Each structure stands twice: as structure tokens, then as C-alpha cells.
Amino acid sequence: MSVAASRDGRQLAIDLQGSIWTLGASGGAAKRITDVFNDARQPSWSPDGKWIAFQGFRDGVYHVWVVSPDGSGQHALTSGPNDDREPVWSHDGTRVAFSSDRGDAANYNVWVLHTTTGELTQVTKDPADDFMPSWSSDDSEIAFISTRGAEQSVWAVTLASGAERKLTSGVRADAPSWGPGGDLIYHVTGAMSSRYELADKPVTARPPIDKPVAAEPLTGAENVFAFRAAWTSPTEFVYVSDGKIRKRSLAAATAQTIEFSATLQVNPARYTSRKRDFDSRAPRRVLGIVRPVISPDGERVAFAALGDVYVMTIGGKPENLTRSSYFDTEPAWSPDGSQLAYSSDRAGARLDIWVRDMKTGAERRLTKLPTAAMGAAWSPDGKHIAFLDVDGIWRRAAVSVVDVATGHVTRIHESLFGPGMPTWSSDGRRVAIAMLRPYSARFREGTNQVLTMSSTPSTPSTPSTPSTPSSPSTPNSQPATPVPQLSTLTSQLSTDVWFSPVANLSIDSRVGAGPAWSPDGTKMAVIYEGVLAVVPVSASGAPLGPPRRITTEMAHAPSWTADSKRILYQSMDKLRLVDLESGATRDVPMDLTYSPGVPTERFVIHAGRLVDGKSDHARTDVDIVVQGNRIRSVEPHRAERHAGTRVVDAAGLTVMPGLIEFHSHLQPDLGESALRAWLAWGITTVRSPGGTPYEATEDREMSEAAVRAAPRVYSTGYLMEWQRTYYKMAVAVSSTAHLEMELQRAKILQHDLIKSYVRMPDLQQRRIVEFAHSIGVPAASHEVFPAAFSGIDGTEHTVGTSRRGYSPKIATLLKSYEDVTEIFAKSGMTLTPTLALTGVTTRQMLLNDPALKTDARFTLYPDWLSAQSTSTTLPTFGGGGGRGATVWAGPGAPGDEMMMSIWKTGAHLLAGTDTPN
């Protein structure tokens, strides 16, 4: 919460939980003057007291808004696709300064809006991020925060000349506020401290002359929030600390607390929950069809489902090519259709590219890397395959090319965060991917655009010594080709070329939305606003015109026939084939079912100790009788009672119910062994609150079909974003119509929940909640309010991403206050703290039990993940995030105090990690 004061000092405005409220300077009951759905933040009074400016997010972008103190006349002063934040009025009332990512540069700058003419002037133009402006008393200068020189410092710019000067150094500064007397107060965040400073020194009390004692920082013992102080006179200001509004004089030793109250309405979630059927063995239709690709001749379709690769002649039955307990996925046809490449972990715990001869059925392993090779795409001449070399969490990957004849791998681009699948130009010289292009370094979100790169490095590589892996004992396999190690190359970033077919419009996602380059090189298929579009392009990939919409129905995973005349795509639960010349579209029928793997056996577990989760004490020497998929009874042990029944001897062990991981995003690049790892750690149920639509469905169906050892899975598809996005598993929803298509897909694919992500506007989040409840599934988000007003089921994370640059759940010094704890207490919302995400708790566990670092279960993960999981390096937290970043100060994990405060109210806390292991 921040506070602003009117020029006469008689009224205050606060932005409690995303609405603007007014109250008298002496406190009392606050009056809400904006509705709950605008995410209204950081108010600033006009000098004449007639308007309050604020940043509002009503349409999915932050703009500068104004509202009268009585709540009338609310309207936006800025518009467009860019975020405009932190408005502040000039003293003469003719201008509003604000920060914005508008303009050509990918950063934040200070801008000025002339309120009488609407003219916009860019004030700062440094490549660093400049934000949080404040006017000098004569309006000749603007102070602001800048990230120049690897610091976050206070700078000032003289408007007449453009001259700039640095005002602070050596501290992490925020929120400068220039007083009418010329004093400049700014916020400083440091370990164990969240305070204001004045003129590069702590704001101090001035001791009486007759008591010359050392001065102490005025706000040193307070948890001061990182917002601008609001001056009420040349020596007095109001601000927020410890969750309270406070008034302070530069000469006073203590602050005055301004008591106030505000009432927030919450609406507990009430609906009839959809029930999963875990008993029926009746066949079910497969919905989780992953990466369907049409053959060059247009006669067959290859795809992944239930963890295997299938091929289906159009009009025929699907044939399982890789039937096994391994994980096989993402098939790709060679240009002549004679071979099929796909990713598989059949040779170990890592995914490699395999190639199958479609005539003989012979298969060979093409890559042998310590990382995961995914997203295979053949070069036009069939001699190379581009792929994603996944080497980090959330699908961080380099782009590499493997020689099909020799297995030699060349990295053509350094690691990127969640790149899309590669696709080739017709001449084989360029590779294109969908990639995130942020608007600034200050906030991570951006749009998915087309990034192209050279398919061959300009720096010659030195071939490394080849190694010959053993032949895996799989059907139709032959001895593997010798596979060289990855060449060490210098990334040639100079070859990168970005294309934005539509300015400020994001390709929907980096999974399943293209681009897919046509074989003749003249077009790219992409998914915009939920539907299939084709962009005319040059040989280099440059757009030659606007996208042309090909469908009106939802589309996913486009692939081309060799003649570049037809595109296969997924639409909800169907496969469709469109002819670009005639526009005719037809279904590609698919008849594929699975039968749930419901056990039927009766057996007994003889447990030395049983922790059942209900009793105060462990029970000893008991028999747990299991029939099929149910525990039928727990009885005192008697060996003779179960004669002829299989007995699992756990007499020397302690038995407990399986653990539930309530927040982890399942990732296909970790392969089949990651599913076994869950079980190895005792986790028998996993909730995955964010994935991609068809992969998430495949995860659930693989678990139900019991084709692989796996926990029970509850999953959802995309993280529902709005216009801007970040994660590869997110979708940039562009409109209410697009949102409705995404919601319908969630219903048709039978997702278990729907997650609204950080850029989703509050009004659209309410629609997500309504829809989820209408189909009997929960909705979740990172938000507290108005999520609780909309009846959402739960909140993820104590800390965690926020579109604001600071968290509305947890303040500086990682403390929460009554507005947050009471919302959880009264709304019934659950909280999943995900404390393990910070690494603090995991580190402490490893320090307490060093032998755990060598536990064999870590070998089920890729090397990079195992090393990350077993690290005892103290994680850093806070610092260079957004404005108002929190600081980890003290023992335990960041968010411990918030979690305990909420727990004491009786609210429900759930165990989740937000890690893949």
C-alpha cells in the first residue's frame, strides 16, 4: 500500500489491495472511489485537489488514469500497448510525469504528459531503465530511479537542458520524493532494513540542544514500504510502514500513526466439484495428442500420445511405433517421408534424437548428450536436424544442429529461456524459432516473436573424439551410429535477426503456435489470437505483408505438406486439414483409446510402524490390506490371517500415506525417469498448475493408463496470460474472444484446474473463475484481491511474480499484514507457499543430512538438475528484481513469517515446491 496527500494536507489517498481509497488526514474509515477490477496503484493528487492520478490495469496494460476524489469522472490519460506507471503531478498542475516502456528502446524511460494538450515528451533516453519520477519544487527538474552503472540509484534531469546528475551511490534506492523545501527523501533496501534516507544519509531525528546524543535513523526500526513519501509541508510527510499510515517530521523523534479502517468483501468459492473416476476400466478416448505432423505427401500423420510415437494413415487406425515403458515424443518427418525422427529416453535418463527408417523399421540413436534433445526439425535436404538442447529449468535450451549421417552436433545458438521449436528456411541457411522479446529489463514479460539465426556457425569447429554407445535392447533397433560429443563453438549472435509480423501482438505461445516455415520458403504458419494465420515472408523470413487468417476456429501445432498447399492443425480435440488455395477444411478422424490401468490384485503390507495422518501416535505392527485401488482395512498383524495372499514385508520400516505435491510443473524434457523420481521420493500425487494443453493432458492420460510408473496427475494447460507473456508454458491471450476459446479447450481436454497468471486483468480473471467453477474445477492465481472477491480457490506462492514489480501479498522485509491474512482467513482461499523455490529449505535439509547429496534418487534427473538440487550454496534473494524488491533477512525461508501468520488464522496451507523434482 502507498499513500498520497492532497496539497492542503487535509485528505489522503491510499491504494489498498488494488483500489484507490480516500480518507481524512486524521484517519478514520476509508472510502473506496474506484472499483475492485482496475488494479489501481500509486495515487498522486493534483495541486488543485480535483483529481487523483494513478496507474490502472483495467485493459491488461498499465495506463495513467485519473479520478475525482468523490469517485466520479474516472478516465485514462494514456493509451496504447505500452505500460505507463508511477504517475506524479507537477506542482503547477499542467503536467504528469510517469515511467513507460513506450518508444523504440527496450527499456523504461521517464515521460511527461501535458494534460491540456495530451502531448507526450520523452525526458530520459539512457539505455538503462529510468522510472519512479518526482518533481522538484519549482518543476525544473525530475528525480528518478535509474539502473545505470550496475546500480539502482537516484538521478535527476534538468528539463530545460536535459543535463543529468547522479544523486546517490552505494545503496539500492527506490521511490525518490522531492519535498517543497528542497529535501529529497528516497527509499533504501538493505539486509535487515527497509528505510528512508535523506540527502545520502539516514533520515535522523534532531536531538535537543540540551541532550546532545547520537542521532538514530527515524525510520530505522520500521519496515518502510518502498513508495514515495507524500509531503504535507516543507518538513513533514506521510508514508506507509509496518502496514500503517504514518506521519513524520524531519525534526521529530517519533512518528504519528494515522489509524484507519477499510472493508473488503470476499466471496468464498462455492460450486459442485467434478469428480475423477478412478474405478472404471472402460476405454477412454485419447485427448492428449502431442505434436501431430503431416507427412510430406499428405497421406499420414505422426504424433505422440500416452508416451509413445504413433503413425496413422489418414482414414486408417493409428499404429504404435515405439510401444515401450520409455518416453517417446515429438516426431518429425524427413523431407522425403522415408524417415521419422523423434525424442526418446530409451538409452538412459536423457532424451536423445532417434531416427526410424519407415520402410524397414530400423532405428538408431542420433545424439548422445548430457542434456535433453527435443523438437527435431529436418533441414530441406534431409542431411541435418535442428533441435533444442534443453539444459536448464523451464525448458531453457540452446539451438543445435546434428548431422544425420555422422551424428556430429553443432550448437548454432547459445541457451535461451524457453525457445520454440526450430523450423528451416527453404535454402537451409536459416533456422527460425518463436522467442520471447521483452519490453524491458525491468519486467520480464514481452511478446513471442520470430527469431532467425544462421544454421551454420561462422567459426570453424574442431570435431571431438567420437564415442560409440552400446545398442539398446529395443524392438527394431540396430547398433547405434558413433555419436561425437557436442562441438564447442562460439555463439554467433551477430546472425540473429528478429521479425515481428504484427507489432505488439504476440504469437500465442512458444509451444504449438509456430512459426512453421513452408517448404517452399514463401510463408510461415503461426497462431495469432487463437486461430491459424499465414504470413508471407522472404527467403530470410522477413514478413512481406500482414498475416492472413486461415481459420476461425481454434488452432494449434500447424505442419505443412511438401507442396506448401495444405496445413494440418489441431483444433480442440480434433485434427483438421486445410487447403490454402480453396480454403476447404476437413476433419482427419482419429480413433485412439486407452483403458485405465486400475489394479485388481489383493495384497497385504506388513508395517512395523504406520503413520496414518489421523492418529496422534504411530501405530505398530499392523497389516494394511489393499484390494485393487483401495485400502480396505488396517488390522493388527496376524500372519495366519492372510495365508495365500501376497505380503509386502515392511516389518522393519515405517509406512505412511503417499505425499501430495501441490505445485510442480511437469516437463517432458525430464523424461520418464522424472515420473519415477516422484514415486521414489514418496510422492504419489502431483498437481501441475501450468503446462501446455496437450502435453498436460498426455501426462494425466499416461498416469491413468498406467503405461509408465507415475504418480497420479492433476494438471492444467497454459498459464493464462494477457497480451504479454514470459514462460514457454504460457499463452498470450489477446482478447475476450480468444479467452473464451482457451477456456473451451480447457473444458474439452478435461483439465483439472485453470490458472490465471500475472498479466491477466482482474475482470478477465473473474471470468476464468466463473468458467472453471461452471465445469466443476478450481481456479488459481498469484493474486489475493480481487481474486478473493471473485471467488477464486487458491493462491500460489508467498513471494513470486507480480505484474506490479512488488508483491501485494508480502511487503519489504518479507512481512505480511492484516489486509492479507484476513482475506485468507475469511475467504477460504488456500495458499501454497512453495518455500522450496527459494532453495533455503532444500539447502538446510542437505546441511542437516549430508548423505542425502549422494542419494541414488538424484541420478534420475539430468546432471544439471541433480547438481542444482544438491547444491548447498546459500541462495540470494531480493536486490535486483523490480522496484520494491523484498529482502531475505533472518533464518528460515523467505515467506516463513507470512505463512505462519496465515496459518494462525485457520486458513488452509498446502505443500508445493514449484520445482521439477
Q: Rounded mean pLDDT of 595-599? A: 95
Model confidence pLDDT, tens digit, residues 709-735: 999 999 999 999 999 999 999 999 999
C-alpha cell at 3: 499513500
Model confidence pLDDT, tens digit, residues 826-847: 999 999 998 776 667 777 788 8
**pLDDT number for residue 917:** 60
pLDDT at 94 over 60: yes
Tell me which H or E stretch contains 741.
Answer: helix 736-748
C-alpha cell at 53: 492520478
Q: Are strands 779-781 and 794-796 parallel, antiparallel or unpaired?
A: parallel
pLDDT at 875 over 80: no
pLDDT class for 891, splitting at 50, 70, 90?
low
**pLDDT number for residue 207:** 38
Task: Count Cβ atoms below 10 Å from residue 134 Cβ, excluding itself.
Answer: 26
Q: Which of 21-30, 119-128, 166-175, 766-775 has the lowest mean pLDDT?
A: 166-175
**pLDDT number for residue 103:** 87
C-alpha cell at 175: 521511490
CB 781 within 8 A of CB 795: yes
Which of 73-82, 191-200, 669-678 reaches the highest mean pLDDT?
A: 73-82
Cα-based distances in Å from 448 to 81, 135, 342, 451, 560: 15, 36, 25, 9, 21
pLDDT class for 204, splitting at 50, 70, 90?
very low
Cα-Cα-Cα-Cα dihedral of 737, 103, 79, 142, to 10°?
140
Q: Which of 85-94, 155-164, 338-347, 805-814 has the lowest mean pLDDT?
A: 805-814
CB under 8 Å to 662, separation ≥6 — which residues? 687, 832, 910, 911, 912
Cα-based distances in Å from 341 to 303, 363, 364: 11, 9, 10
CB under 8 Å to 769, separation ≥6 — which residues? 269, 756, 779, 787, 790, 791, 792
| Torsion sign, CA atoms 125, 127, 131, 137 | negative
Q: Which of 164-173, 314-323, 692-701, 736-745 has the lowest mean pLDDT?
A: 164-173
pLDDT class for 641, splitting at 50, 70, 90?
confident
Q: Are strands 556-560 and 548-554 parallel, antiparallel or unpaired?
A: unpaired
- Which strands form 339-344's sheet, in the order they lie side by side? 328-333, 339-344, 352-357, 363-365
**pLDDT number for residue 127:** 95
Q: Rounded mean pLDDT of 690-715? A: 96
Q: What are phi and psi of 652, to 5 degrees?
A: -100, 15
pLDDT at 877 over 80: no
Q: Are strands 339-344 and 466-467 parallel, antiparallel or unpaired?
A: unpaired
- Residue 463, preceding peptide bond in cis (omega within 30° of 0): no
pLDDT at 470 over 80: no
Q: Rounded mean pLDDT of 530-547? A: 97
Amino acid identity of 560?
W
Distance, in Å, from the CA atom of 174 to the CA atom of 878, rounded to the nearest integer, reads 13
CB 525 within 8 A of CB 534: yes
Model confidence pLDDT, tens digit, residues 390-443: 998 889 999 999 999 999 999 999 999 999 999 999 999 999 999 999 999 999
The secondary structure of residue 464, as a DSSP letter, is P
pLDDT class for 217, splitting at 50, 70, 90?
low
Distance, in Å, from the CA atom of 17 to the CA atom of 25, rounded to the nearest integer, reads 20
Cα-Cα-Cα-Cα dihedral of 276, 281, 287, 290, to 10°?
110
Q: Which of 436-445, 450-459, 901-910 has the lowest mean pLDDT?
A: 450-459
**pLDDT number for residue 886:** 42
**pLDDT number for residue 63:** 98
Percent of the chain as helix, strand, coil, to the nearest 5 = 15, 35, 50
**pLDDT number for residue 459:** 45
- Residues facing residue 387 across a β-bridge: 400
**pLDDT number for residue 874:** 58
pLDDT at 387 over 60: yes
Side-chain-side CA neighbours of 185 within 13 Å: the count stands at: 27
**Considering only CA atoms, which of 756, 749, 831 is closest in space to residue 790?**
756
Q: What is the mean pLDDT of the chain?
A: 90
Amino acid identity of 238?
V
pLDDT class for 95, splitting at 50, 70, 90?
very high
**pLDDT number for residue 468:** 30
Q: Rounded mean pLDDT of 70-89? A: 97
pLDDT at 479 over 70: no
pLDDT at 216 over 70: no
The helix/strand/coil state of 17 is helix
pLDDT at 885 over 60: no
pLDDT at 887 over 70: no
CA angle (560 as vertex; 555, 562 as ends), nearest 5 = 170
Q: Are strands 130-135 and 602-610 parallel, antiparallel or unpaired?
A: unpaired
pLDDT at 213 over 80: no
**pLDDT number for residue 536:** 98
3-state secondary structure 744-780: HHHHHCCCCCEEECCCCCHHHHHHHHHHHHHCCCCEE
C-alpha cell at 823: 482475506
pLDDT class for 203, splitting at 50, 70, 90?
very low
Helices within 171-320 (DSSP H only)? none
Q: Rounded mean pLDDT of 530-540? A: 97
Percentage of residues of the chain with pLDDT beyond 70: 91
Distance, in Å, from the CA atom of 337 to the CA atom of 460, rounded to the nearest integer, reads 32
C-alpha cell at 775: 465445469
Distance, in Å, from the CA atom of 455 to the CA atom of 465, rounded to the nearest integer, reads 23
